[in-house]
């Protein structure tokens, strides 16, 4: 009989392998940082050791084969967020600009339950297990906001959500009696995205992409309209968000553009290269460096959903049913939208 912790870890691999198929398939881009990176000053009141200098980080190359110098640690917790205690704390380093934007957005959008941030990357970037990208300090995974069985805010977990916005925290995958039904909290998730988009500066290091399954992307857009969110914010989200080959039905993957200060120092942005971004850089006297992933880049160990499922051992019936249902939105193109590629 399989032990629960083994099963749990295996499902997390299914759930968290945002890199494998997804990032290999898309040739995206990356980086981001805030505008005045050189003069940026953080005012947080963390108890954690402060980074030596926010401007010291340097993202080099692209998200799929780059690296990072002077990586800044996301604190284990701060206003409105916590780094997922189930993830390797060595994987919480990003550019100064990305970390600052995440912290500011989480604080601005803070609700009853902290947002949970999963992997960024290593202090020096480079290959990282379970991800095809996350190598240059400009990629971040964030769990969705969610609600529990009675509608109360629920601490985010790596559960996938179906087109009706329903999910399950299966916990012990062999035990059907400990399952917790969840619902996708589109409002709270939108608030974080809205804070990220509205807190950015087109001439800084704005969000370049949000990887998320199409049915939740649609729910986020509908929610934003219902909340009467700013048109420009909704349009920006609609433009930059898409579903990659790995469906991202259990977390958001955020990618930021290169900070302007990093561009002359080797930071490269993969596609898409939006006109608004090019114009903002031109206003700074900069030209975007276009990146194409090198096919011979060192590969990190990744696990496909099928491999993880095979390794998970016994799964109770409802877990198996969920994994089967996921194939509908993992393997078939969703109507009306292109994949992220």
- Residues near Zn ion (CB under 5 A) are 18, 141, 253
Contact 229, 26 (CB under 8 A): no
CB closer to Zn ion out of 217 and 253: 253
Measured distance CA(71)–CA(341) in Å, rounded: 28
Measured distance CA(8)–CA(308) in Å, rounded: 11
State the nearest-atom distance from the C-beta of 278 to Zn ion, in Å.
25
Measured distance CA(273)–CA(30) in Å, rounded: 10
State the nearest-atom distance from the C-beta of 43 to Zn ion, in Å.
28
Structure tokens at 307: 């491999």
CB closer to Zn ion out of 55 and 64: 64
CB closer to Zn ion out of 147 and 257: 257
State the nearest-atom distance from the C-beta of 154 to Zn ion, in Å.
22
Cα angle for residues 287, 289, 290 (degrees, 5° grid): 125
State the nearest-atom distance from the C-beta of 126 to Zn ion, in Å.
15
State the nearest-atom distance from the C-beta of 140 to Zn ion, in Å.
7
Residue tagged 């084969």 (tokens)? 65
Measured distance CA(47)–CA(45) in Å, rounded: 6
CB closer to Zn ion out of 234 and 251: 251
Length of the chain equals 341
CB closer to Zn ion out of 234 and 253: 253
CB closer to Zn ion out of 211 and 274: 211
Other Cβ atoms closer than 10 A to 339: 14
Residue tagged 């700074």 (tokens)? 284
**Run of H or E including 221:** helix 214-226
State the nearest-atom distance from the C-beta of 325 to Zn ion, in Å.
23
Structure tokens at 308: 């993880």
Q: What is the DSSP letter of 61?
A: B
């Amino acid at each position: 009989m399989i032990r629960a912790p083994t099963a749990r870890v295996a499902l997390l691999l299914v759930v968290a392998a945002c890199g494998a198929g997804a990032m290999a398939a898309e040739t995206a881009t990356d980086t981001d940082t805030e505008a005045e990176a050189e003069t940026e000053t953080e005012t947080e009141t963390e108890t954690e050791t402060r980074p030596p200098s926010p401007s010291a980080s340097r993202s080099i190359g692209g998200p799929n084969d780059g690296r990072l110098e002077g990586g800044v640690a996301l604190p284990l917790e701060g206003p409105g967020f916590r780094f997922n205690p189930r993830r390797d704390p060595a994987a919480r380093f990003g550019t100064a600009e990305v970390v600052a934007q995440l912290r500011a957005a989480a604080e601005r959008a803070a609700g009853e339950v902290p947002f949970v941030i999963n992997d960024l990357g290593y202090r020096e970037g480079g290959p990282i297990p379970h991800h095809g990208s996350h190598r240059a300090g400009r990629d971040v995974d964030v769990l969705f906001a969610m609600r529990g069985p009675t509608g109360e805010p629920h601490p985010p977990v790596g559960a996938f959500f179906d087109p009706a916005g329903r999910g399950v925290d299966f916990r012990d995958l062999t035990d059907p009696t400990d399952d917790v039904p969840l619902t996708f909290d589109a409002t709270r998730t939108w608030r974080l995205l809205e804070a990220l988009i509205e807190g950015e500066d087109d001439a800084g290091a704005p969000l370049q992409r949000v990887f998320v399954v199409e049915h939740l992307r649609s729910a986020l857009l509908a929610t934003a309209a219902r909340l009467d969110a700013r048109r420009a914010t909704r349009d920006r989200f609609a433009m930059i968000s898409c579903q990659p080959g790995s469906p991202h039905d259990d977390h958001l993957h955020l990618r930021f553009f290169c900070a302007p200060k990093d561009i002359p120092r080797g930071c490269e942005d993969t596609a898409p290269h939006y006109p608004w971004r090019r114009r903002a850089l031109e206003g700074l006297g900069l030209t975007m460096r276009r990146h194409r992933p090198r096919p011979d880049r060192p590969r990190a160990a990744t696990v496909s959903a099928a491999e993880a499922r095979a390794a998970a051992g016994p799964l109770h019936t409802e877990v198996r049913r969920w994994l089967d249902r996921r194939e509908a939105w993992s393997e078939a193109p969703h109507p009306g939208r292109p994949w992220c590629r």
